[in-house]
Amino acid sequence: MFDKPSHDQLFNVRIDHEINSSQHLFGRYSQEWNFLSYNGCGGTSVANCYDGLIPRRSVVVGHTWTVSPTIVNEARFQYAYSAYLLGPAGEPVWTDIGNYAPERLAQMQLALNFPSFSYGFGYASDGVEKRYEGKDDGPY
């Protein structure tokens, strides 16, 4: 039996501002932190047993302009970041994606799973994703 501490924390903040009666501005920041320990461990199998950090955050800014009672323009921009960071169970999770030390690379190996036998641990699923999006709807 493994002690499997984990946590999931979420933080959101939004600010709205009325520039004037026809223009509104908003900004939002969201962040989530996940930590999972000893995932895949237990029972008769320890294949792919890992600890993981999964940080996510995003920033959104938007502007709405009511040009007339029948014409509205809305523009938004978003930046989003997400990472999937894995490491051996019970060890510090490496967060330096793309610049792994030889010790870290030595821990990445092929994982083989058969119905009655498992071998190896694979941590090669680490990755970072960054997205940028802009949108301007209008004026309509």
**Chain segment 78-107, per-residue pLDDT in tens:** 999 998 887 777 777 777 666 656 665 565
Asked whether residue 1 is domain-assigned, the answer is: no
Q: Quote the CA–CA distance of 6 and 40 in Å, as a whole number.
A: 13
Give yes or no for a contact between 29 and 13, defined as CB atoms under 8 angstroms apart: yes
Give yes or no for a contact between 93 and 67, defined as CB atoms under 8 angstroms apart: no
In the chain, % helix, strand, coil (3-state, to 5) comes to 5, 60, 35
Look at residue 57 in the predicted model and tell me its pLDDT: 96
Domain span at residue 51 reads 6-137
- Residue 5 pLDDT class (50, 70, 90 cuts): confident
Give yes or no for a contact between 137 and 73, defined as CB atoms under 8 angstroms apart: yes
Asked whether residue 25 is domain-assigned, the answer is: yes
* Domains: count for the chain: 1
Instruction: Specify the residue for token string 């994703």.
Output: 129
Asked whether residue 120 is domain-assigned, the answer is: yes
Asked whether residue 82 is domain-assigned, the answer is: yes
| Choice between 71 and 96, residue whose per-residue pLDDT is larger | 71
Instruction: Specify the residue for token string 């997400």.
Output: 82
Look at residue 125 in the predicted model and tell me its pLDDT: 63
pTM of the entire structure? 0.70
The bridge status of strand 71-88 relative to strand 6-20 is unpaired
